[in-house]
Structure 1
Amino acid sequence: MSVISNLTASHTAVTFAERKLKFNLMNRANLKIPRPYQNGAFSVSKLAVGQSSRAAKYPSVRMALVDERLARGRGTADPSGVLAYELVQGALVKWSSMMDKSVPEPPTAILLHGILGSRKNWGTFARRLAQAFPTWQFLLVDLRCHGDSASMKKRQPHTVASTALDVLKLVGKLRITPRVLVGHSFGGKVALSIVEQAAKPLARPVRVWVLDATPGKVRAGGDGEDHPSVLISYLSKLPKEVSSKREVVNALLGEGFSKDVAQWVVTNLRSTSPLGSPSSSFSWVFDLEGIAEMYQSYEETNLWKFVENLPQGVHVNFLKAERSLHRWALGDLQRIHAAEELAADGGGGVEMHVLEDAGHWVHADNPDGLFRILSSSFQGF
């Protein structure tokens, strides 16, 4: 398995043969090399070889960070507009976007996080999928205003549709045609919008998984932590730099948010303290104003028409968490079941699933159950 990270500074094209030679030399030396660094006018992503903490959980897999440069030139836009991403590849995948176009790409799945999340939310789960399905690769992205994509140049408005278009642009640059799209919460609507907006048809069949979200109205539950707009508003009042994660957790608990939500939110804090400094400091890695717009768009975006008129070969799977914080209205469930019949007649597909013993954060609450349900999408390739 390998993890491919994009570089957002200026890039220089390097031939596949050069990279292969570099890999062989490093692999022979069994070196552990630091994180990517700046070298002159371009970023260099060095190859880390050896056992990592993540690889230790999957002993049959060696984790590597592979140099992946998006060259300037015809058909490539300014790299500053590219989403931050990781490409988690199964052990049998021998493909890179830098390769000749004649080399067939492996089947690809895209995993999308929700509001106030990041691609790291999917890291462990993606590596598990890659180990179970070694011919597949899994694209994890930081959506606009989130994680490492928060600093990229982005055009307003910050909507579900514009977020989906960002992902489509990245897919185009990487020359990937996804067969499966998995989106959690806000990411679920983004996944639907990707298929709806695709300038040319995606792979057929293409399977879309919408995890604990509906195509239309967002119905928050009764608990305070289940109102992301309230959470976003409260976070906007906090300092941009704090001395500890604990003080933020305590502040959120004091406002009535749950411990799970408080601990999840502080994963968006990154240390800004100089190495060896006796004091600590952390800053937020998201663009909260943009995220507020994105959440408003999530509430307002209605994709029922698309779900009820699916193109041939598109299969949409809705998954409801048994203990979902969102209120799944009876009307929503009935409409999904009605869409199942409409899609079957039109050559598409709609299915409804329920994940037992899970709250809204399905991939954290019941990863085993989610793995079993999603696995059917990766078989037969």
Structure 2
Amino acid sequence: MAKTMMLMHSRTSHAAWHAAHLSARVGDAGVASFAAQLRSRFEYEFLGCSWSSESANFSLQRRGSKNLASIQATLTEERPFVTRVPPVEKSNKALAYELVQGALARWSEVRDRATPEPPTAVLLHGILGGRRNWVSFAKRLAQAFPTWQFLLVDLRCHGESASLRKRGPHSVVSAARDVLQLMGQLRLTPRVLIGHSFGGKVAMSMVDQAAKPLARPVRVWVLDATPGKVRSGGDGEDHPGELIATLRQMPSSLPSRRALIDALTHKGFSAGVAQWMTTNLKSTTGEVYGDGSVYKWVFDLEGIADMYKSYEDTNLWSLVDNVPEGVHIDFLRAERSLHRWAHEDVQRIHLAEQIASSEGAGVQMHVLEDAGHWVHTDNPDGLFRLLTPTFGGTNFERF
């Protein structure tokens, strides 16, 4: 008997989603649940669908494998992705997140456990960023790979997760544990972890904290971050540490976004970074892009300062030197990176490539040309091409 998947066709970029809360325990139990779930491989078969839109209502029923390609093509054209944004609940201390689903991905918090889980990729932002940094890129991935879903997370002290007021220490390890707990609560088994800068170290720490040996394959992409101590770039322009220090010296309330831009550019930061920082302001009315006359930060700046210090000092070379079986770690260095990639770091990664390949794991080094530290905005096409094989794709030209 064919199963049915309801696809809601939406032309809006965001859709409000209110789901029942899971009764699953989190904390250490959630982390253990995450590790246990990783033992299952995704086996997905599209059995049928019921589709509705403003102009038509009809059903498509699978009648043999020959029809599958045409059905998928129709669905991906009409419903390239769906974005779900659940409300932030302070009671369960779960991180705020956003789920971008491909046209053929079927999942919800209250799903039938007999239904196969679609392959999931988790995208993690860097210091002073937020899940919104990944939205456009995630939608592009969802359109290109319609059976996948992409989980975008606000890390502790950032975005909507800042309101949770999580206890310290605010560190790479704590941030990774938060995401593991979220995975346990959602009962999701990520097959790919993609982290930019600080988020890259969080992704590595997630693997490091999970049970070993890992009885499942997982791909980890570390975007413009080294496993060890962080080295600053040449002239220090837009350096995160200096930016945090400057922000801490500013008043907690600002009269306008323009005031922030002027203050940061006067201190020598680029106009692009100054403009980007305005996305972390909210008006007194509570609207991030409101018209109020007074603006405050949406993040916990003191907590972020602790997180960045942890990012600078956290050493995860032991993971790279001893990659668990079934894990593949890809390091991506931006051609114009703000961070110095020391020659010895690059050589050590290349050595790890040889060792890992002989032990059933993997390490690989990539260079993204024509990109600074903000790889997914500086060269999204190049990043997309590098990531395409991870999701099983080869033809990326139409996306």
Segments of 5+ residues of structure 1 without an aligned counterpart are 14-23, 31-57, 72-77
- Aligned equivalent of 1:102: 114
- Give the root-mean-square deviation of aligned CA atoms: 3.1
Q: Is the 8 A contact 1:220 1:226 kept in 2?
A: no
Structure 1 distance, partners of 2:138, 2:291, is: 36
Identity among equivalent pairs (%): 61
Of the three residues 360, 364, 378, the one matched with 1:347 is: 360
- Aligned equivalent of 2:164: 152
TM-score of the aligned structures, taking structure 2 as reference length = 0.77
Alignment of 1:149-298 (within 5 A): 149-199=161-211, 204-273=216-285, 280-298=293-311
Structure 1 distance, partners of 2:22, 2:229, is: 45
The residue type equivalent to 2:322 in the other structure is: N
Shift of 1:27: 6.5
SS in 2 for 1:224: coil
Change (3 A) 1:228 1:279: closer
Bigger drift between 214-223 and 295-304 goes to 214-223
Structure 1 distance, partners of 2:162, 2:267, is: 26
Per-residue Cα deviation, 1:69-108 (whole angstroms, up to 9, x for no partner): 899xxxxxx7441000001100001221211211110000
Bigger drift between 371-380 and 358-367 goes to 371-380
Structure 1 distance, partners of 2:22, 2:357, is: 48
Structure 2 distance, partners of 1:91, 1:252, is: 41
Q: Is the 8 A contact 1:363 1:370 kept in 2?
A: yes
Change (3 A) 1:5 1:140: farther
The residue type equivalent to 2:252 in the other structure is: K
SS in 2 for 1:171: helix
Structure 1 distance, partners of 2:22, 2:220, is: 35
Change (3 A) 1:344 1:12: closer
Give the paired residue count. Answer: 336
Change (3 A) 1:134 1:11: closer
Per-residue Cα deviation, 1:122-167 (whole angstroms, up to 9, x for no partner): 0000000000000000000000000000011412100100000000
Q: Is the 8 A contact 2:17 2:84 kept in 1?
A: no
Q: Does 1:90 align with 2:77?
A: no
- Aligned equivalent of 1:17: none
Shift of 1:204: 2.4
TM-score of the aligned structures, taking structure 1 as reference length = 0.80
Structure 2 distance, partners of 1:317, 1:342, is: 14
- Aligned equivalent of 1:299: 312
Shift of 1:223: 2.5
Alignment of 1:290-369 (within 5 A): 290-369=303-382
Q: Is the 8 A contact 2:16 2:85 kept in 1?
A: yes
Per-residue Cα deviation, 1:271-304 (whole angstroms, up to 9, x for no partner): 22489x9852221110000000000000110000
The residue type equivalent to 1:333 in the other structure is: V
Structure 2 distance, partners of 1:331, 1:116, is: 29
Change (3 A) 1:4 1:348: farther
Q: Is the 8 A contact 1:4 1:87 kept in 2?
A: no
Structure 2 distance, partners of 1:87, 1:317, is: 23
Change (3 A) 1:145 1:278: closer
Q: Does 1:61 align with 2:79?
A: yes
Structure 2 distance, partners of 1:361, 1:67, is: 24
The residue type equivalent to 1:359 in the other structure is: G
Q: Is the 8 A contact 2:81 2:101 kept in 1?
A: no
Q: Does 1:371 align with 2:384?
A: yes
Alignment of 1:14-25 (within 5 A): none
Structure 2 distance, partners of 1:298, 1:287, is: 16
Structure 2 distance, partners of 1:250, 1:334, is: 42
The residue type equivalent to 2:121 in the other structure is: A
Per-residue Cα deviation, 1:240-298 (whole angstroms, up to 9, x for no partner): 221211111110111111222212222111222489x9852221110000000000000
- Aligned equivalent of 1:133: 145
Structure 1 distance, partners of 2:85, 2:380, is: 30
Change (3 A) 1:278 1:251: closer
Shift of 1:222: 2.7
Structure 1 distance, partners of 2:17, 2:209, is: 24
Structure 1 distance, partners of 2:370, 2:359, is: 34
The residue type equivalent to 1:339 in the other structure is: A
The residue type equivalent to 1:290 in the other structure is: G
Bigger drift between 201-210 and 62-71 goes to 62-71
Structure 2 distance, partners of 1:274, 1:136, is: 33
